[in-house]
């Protein structure tokens, strides 16, 4: 453990541990969840979401596609709210609310394609435009 501390890594002994739990030598590399960690997890959620949207064309792969899609949506929601709590101190500016609306649009999109309200090509186009709008809002954080 001394070598880990010398290398700058922390262990459960050097981090507050809940009472009643044994202290062990597990290495905590990330430490407390930083905004960079939330951004990384958010990017993983985006990848999962768009894998699910891209796989949704055939009937055989629809169940697998919906798993990817749902997992991506859940990861995006959790990491997005975690980042809002960490960086913005639970304040909800307009761009955060717009990103939630985009999240809802991306969540409903496969249902609209499956029911025939949108063709697959139009669904992918809407997903691309919604993703670009979400990326713009997240990067620029416009104030209205």
- Compute φ and ψ for 28, nearest 5 degrees: -100, 100
Residue ranges of domains in the chain = 1-32, 35-140
Q: Could you read off the pLDDT of 33-49 as tens digits, one per residue?
A: 888 889 999 999 999 99
Contact assessment for residue 97 and residue 137, using Cβ atoms and an 8 Å cutoff = no
Residue of higher predicted confidence among 119 and 32: 119
Residue 102: CB atoms within 10 A of its CB come to 19
- Compute φ and ψ for 20, nearest 5 degrees: 95, -15
Q: Beta partners for 105?
A: none
pLDDT higher than threshold 60 for residue 101 = yes
Helices (H), the chain: 2-6, 35-55, 62-87, 94-114, 120-140
| CB proximity list for 137: less than 8 A, separation 6 or greater | 95, 98, 99, 102
Per the prediction, the chain carries an average pLDDT of: 83
6-10, 50-54, 109-113, 126-130, range with greatest mean pLDDT: 126-130
pTM: 0.75
| Residue among 105, 40, 110 at smallest CA distance from 75 | 40
Strands 10-11 and 27-28: antiparallel
pLDDT higher than threshold 60 for residue 121 = yes
Q: At what angle do helices 120-140 and 35-55 cross, to 10 degrees?
A: 170
Task: Give the Cα separation of 51 and 97 in Å (integer).
Answer: 24
């Amino acid at each position: 453990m001394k070598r880990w501390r010398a290398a700058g890594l922390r262990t459960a002994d050097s981090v507050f541990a809940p009472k009643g739990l044994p202290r062990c030598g597990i290495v905590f590399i990330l430490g407390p969840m930083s905004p960079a960690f939330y951004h990384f997890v958010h990017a993983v959620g985006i990848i999962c979401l768009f894998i699910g949207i891209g796989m949704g064309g055939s009937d055989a792969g629809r169940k697998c596609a919906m798993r990817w899609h749902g997992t991506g949506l859940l990861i995006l929601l959790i990491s997005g709210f975690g980042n809002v709590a960490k960086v913005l101190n639970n304040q909800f500016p307009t761009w955060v609310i717009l990103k939630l609306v985009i999240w809802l649009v991306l969540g409903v999109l496969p249902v609209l394609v499956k029911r025939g309200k949108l063709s697959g090509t139009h669904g992918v186009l809407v997903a691309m435009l919604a993703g670009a709008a979400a990326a713009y809002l997240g990067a620029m954080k416009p104030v209205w």
